[in-house]
């Protein structure tokens, strides 16, 4: 369950964007989407530092793992096919 927004950094707009990203078809994720998920995790961590809301730090960790899995399983294979992968395989 996505934590509710209610304070300084983790706003309703950020929560809505997170819901939008997580509702996206995994096959359509881009590297920019992954970076945005990581940025939202950063925002949650910042909010935790101010508010002490433990659910945010817990969710941020899960979000980082999800972003990594999405990147490895869905984004990197597309990049390799397009020869955009920086490791050049």
The residue ranges of every structural domain in the chain are: 12-17+30-81
Closest Cα to residue 42, out of 29, 21, 54, 59?
59
Which of these, 9, 89, 88, lies nearest to 48 by C-alpha position? Answer: 9
| Percent of the chain residues past pLDDT 90, beyond the cut | 74
Task: Give how far the C-alpha of residue 58 lies from the chain's centroid of Cα atoms, to the nearest Å.
Answer: 13
pLDDT in tens, 49-60: 999 999 999 999
CA distance 80 to 89: 7
Single pTM value for the model? 0.87
- Of 34-38, 44-48, 64-68, 73-77, the one with minimum mean pLDDT is 73-77
């Amino acid at each position: 369950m996505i934590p509710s927004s209610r304070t300084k950094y983790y706003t309703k707009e950020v929560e809505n964007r997170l819901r939008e990203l997580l509702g996206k078809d995994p096959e359509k994720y881009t590297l920019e989407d992954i970076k945005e998920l990581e940025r939202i995790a950063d925002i949650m961590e910042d909010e935790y530092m101010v508010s002490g809301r433990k659910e945010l730090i817990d969710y941020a960790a899960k979000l980082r793992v999800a972003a990594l899995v999405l990147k490895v399983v869905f984004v990197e294979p597309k990049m390799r096919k397009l020869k955009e992968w920086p490791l050049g395989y």
